[in-house]
Chains A and B, each alone.
Chain A
């Protein structure tokens, strides 16, 4: 289906930016400075850079409707036409945009309506709309779940649907902003494979902004790095493939500790014995006859696919849910739960007020709060609104807030989801200091790099049971498929 039109038009670049500068409304420093960037048609381009480097802003400049408020100088051309000349409809037809969060970018309640949404907006005649939707559904294998409710889909399917409902409008350039940051590794591979087919079979130009390029390098034809407001071409694609070092300092200390005889003698912080749990009488068992013991003062990771019951296990250990059968023994009642989205914790207008929210209950004062902020490296952000922090900073703030309550058992659900390497390092170092205080940490995670470098013990959860528990060195040695 790679059309001749496309080949003939390769002289016109998909995206061309010249002398581009952009600053957010109210900001003193520009986030993008005198930047020039050119992506040829038919490319599969990666745009790498840390959180806050302006990747999303750079991509959004190609779609005037979603550009953040601010001032821009210089020119942006999409397929040879300046973006100012594109109205909403023309922009939707030529440039597709897929966002990071599958939950937020889905608009309608059923899959078929979601696919139709864009075409309905563009006033596409019904006959053509039906043909496009049918074709797209077959291409992505959506026909099996075409009539489902979007709420019942897994995160991976939601993101695939977001891709499909963008492509149904047949854009020639596809921009994706961290499209797999919220997905588990298997769903991520599925999504990337679909994306690769879009590029290869439809001849669509694909540009992916990401802070974790490793899984995508194999598909990419070129890569660019955005740093200090400028774009530069990455000469050596293979270099992006390296596994990032998350744990820089604490590695040796951890190894010692895990194998020291003292820790062997420590008891278990959490013990599940022949545990059974389901959400309702007609629901399937989520936890079935599970045995699990977590040693005290240890970082224990739970890994496994989506819906295997990791989050449910955390809810059980936190006392939010109760077992139907079996026993759960938790040594300390002082526990804290950090959900996947730290925003579930935020209610104040500033970072400082946020930390002081539980001051009465937790019996701590301003000085404790300042120390907690310093510990997670957020001392400069005291006066900011929690929602103005980056994803990684939000995660650290939520951690600091919970740690002020001095929990003995810290339960974390996907603590590194969507975070860049810097933020992951910070989280890792916080977890290490917490463990040094003798706190037990249990985290459910898809981030195998992080788990491999930070956890002491790892359990793989499958089908409501623990398939295996092992110290991390052994765990990854024994695994054939499930490894970073």
Chain B
């Protein structure tokens, strides 16, 4: 049965979390500076932790940490720049700067993935539809339809494959037939033929059902949208955009004065990290508040 998850911006117009998610992903992807990456990563992890629970977060660390490590180790092989030579690997020198650059790259990638996932929680699919539905009803409908068709296609494909396999095994029982790679390819080709025929046939009926309910009636489509854009929402967006600009300026300043090569710039304590961290913590904190409110 359908279970609704409550999270940050639960009661706001979907545009509000959409603005937040867009700015956050933008900041994360473009702020290539170690401290900012760590802050973004921490914010993303915190949100995932409060949303999915610590267990799921630890489980996802199982691929995230090795991934950062691999990128860190692979980077020196491709870019042999820097000034602090650690050791030589055959003819190539491995520099500390290059290793750190790889680490930062890996961290940035993982943080981006985390925030994309966070965005999916913050703006769930039906809210995306609401946003789209007002602007481009036909596109919204197309997305809605494909969301319905794809799992169905997969389900039918599995069924066709199962039936074919059973039939093949039945025939093979009588006579030993060599089922090599060529047969396997042929059978999957056959599967797609069957699926095409089946789906086309079904879609004819769907088209009829759509026409029967007035599809393409040459009237401007309206939408059933449950979200209202209030003054408060406008206010929230203004605040988010202003704060986002501040964070963008901070990120630009921090990234601009930092360099990995030839020697890594020194990191100092700076007031600018505080608002940036505050920004990244917003969904985690709001989620906890939302949960507390429900109880």
Contacts and interface: CB of A to CB of B under 8 A. Distances in A.
A288 to B, nearest CB: 21
Interface in A102-133: 103-110, 112-113, 115-126, 129-130, 133
A250 interface: no
Contacts of B137: 120
A92 B223 contact: no
A145 B148 contact: no
Interface stretch (B16-24, B156-164, B277-285): B156-164
Nearest to B157: A344
Q: Quick one: which of B147, B212, B220 has the most chain A CB within 10 A? A: B212
B84 interface: no
Interface of A: 63, 65-66, 87-89, 91-93, 96-97, 99, 101, 103-110, 112-113, 115-126, 129-130, 133, 145, 147-152, 162, 165-166, 169, 315, 318-320, 332-339, 341, 343-347, 358, 360-363, 387, 402, 405-407
B210 A107 contact: yes
A121 B212 CA distance: 11
A166 B1 CA distance: 24
Interface in B127-143: 129, 137, 141
B217 A113 contact: no
Given A99-B205, A113-B129, A148 B1 contact: yes
Nearest to A317: B166
A92 B190 contact: no
B168 interface: yes
A126 B216 contact: no
Contacts of B221: 120-121, 123
A151 B151 contact: yes
Contacts of B198: 341, 343-344, 346
B60 interface: no
24 contacts: A66-B208, A89-B218, A97-B212, A99-B205, A105-B205, A107-B144, A108-B141, A113-B144, A117-B213, A118-B213, A121-B219, A125-B222, A129-B222, A147-B4, A162-B209, A166-B213, A318-B162, A338-B163, A344-B160, A345-B194, A347-B190, A347-B197, A361-B168, A363-B174
Contact of A336 (B129, B170, B201, B217): B170
Interface residues of B, number: 58
A320 B165 CA distance: 8
B206 interface: yes
Contact of A108 (B144, B201, B205, B223): B144
A346 to B, nearest CB: 6
Nearest to A411: B166
B87 interface: no
Contact of A387 (B129, B172, B197, B218): B197
A113 B125 CA distance: 12
Contacts of B144: 107-110, 113
A113 B126 CA distance: 9
Interface in B1-46: 1-2, 4
Given A110-B144, A122-B219, A405 B214 contact: no
A258 to B, nearest CB: 26
Nearest to A338: B163
Interface in B178-215: 190, 193-194, 197-198, 201-203, 205-206, 208-215
B270 interface: no
B212 A337 contact: no
Contact of B148 (A108, A360, A362): A108
Given A65-B212, A99-B208, 10 more contacts: A63-B212, A89-B219, A92-B217, A104-B209, A109-B147, A113-B144, A129-B222, A166-B212, A318-B166, A343-B198
